[in-house]
Amino acid sequence: MKAAIIGAIVLIVLIVLSAVTGVFYVVDETKQAIVTQFKNPVGDPITEAGLHFKLPIIQEVNYIEKRILEWDGQPNEMPTKDKTYIIVDTFARWKIKDAMQYYLRLKDERSAQSRLNDILGSETRNAIAKHELIEVIRSDKDRKPAQEAIIADSLGGIGTLYPIKVGRDRIEEQIYEKASTKLEEFGIDLLDIRFKRINYNQTVQQRIFDRMISERQQIAERFRSEGAGEAAKIKGKKERDLQEIQSEAYRKVQTIEGEADAKASEIYAKAYNQSSQAAEFYEFTKSLETFKEMLKEDTTLIMTTDSDIYKFLQNIEGN
Partner 1 sequence: MAQNYDFEFPDGPGKINISASTIVLAVVGILILFGLFTSFYTVQAESQGIVLRFGKYYNTVGSGLQFKLPFGIDQVLIVPVERQLKQEFGFYTSGGTNVSQYSVSTAERNAERSMVTGDLNAASVEWVIQYRITDPKQFLFEVRSPEFTLRDIAESVMRAVVGDRTVDEVITIGRQEIEGEALIKMQELVQKYQLGLSINQVQLKDVNPPQPVQPSFNEVNQAQQQKEQMINVANGEYNKVVPRARGEAEQKIQEAEGYALKRVNEAEGDVANFVAVLEEYKKAKDVTKQRLYLETMQEVIPNMGEKIIIDEGASQILPLLNLGKGAKE
- From the CB of residue 161, how many other CB atoms can be counted at a distance below 10 Å? 14
Rounded least distance, CB 214 to partner 1, Å? 8
| Closer to partner 1 by Cβ: residue 104 or 232 | 232
What is the C-alpha to C-alpha distance for residues 62 and 215, in angstroms, rounded to an integer? 60
| Closer to partner 1 by Cβ: residue 1 or 155 | 1
Rounded least distance, CB 163 to partner 1, Å? 10
How far are the Cα atoms of 64, 90, 174, 218, 287 from residue 149, in angstroms, in the given order? 59, 37, 39, 14, 78
- 262-280 burial string, b = 16+ CB within 10 Å, else e? eeeeeeeeeebeeeeeeee
What 8-state DSSP symbol labels residue 142? T
| Closer to partner 1 by Cβ: residue 148 or 185 | 148
Rounded least distance, CB 82 to partner 1, Å? 11
Q: Is 179:193 a contact under the CB 8 Å cutoff?
A: yes
| Closer to partner 1 by Cβ: residue 38 or 291 | 291
- Nearest to 22, CA basis, from 38, 9, 6, 35: 35
Rounded least distance, CB 67 to partner 1, Å? 4
DSSP SS3 for 172: helix
| Closer to partner 1 by Cβ: residue 117 or 147 | 147
Rounded least distance, CB 38 to partner 1, Å? 26
Return the C-alpha torsion angle 74, 75, 79, 80, nearest 10: 100
| Closer to partner 1 by Cβ: residue 40 or 74 | 74
What is the C-alpha to C-alpha distance for residues 73 and 78, in angstroms, rounded to an integer? 14
What is the C-alpha to C-alpha distance for residues 204 and 137, in angstroms, rounded to an integer? 15
Rounded least distance, CB 73 to partner 1, Å? 10
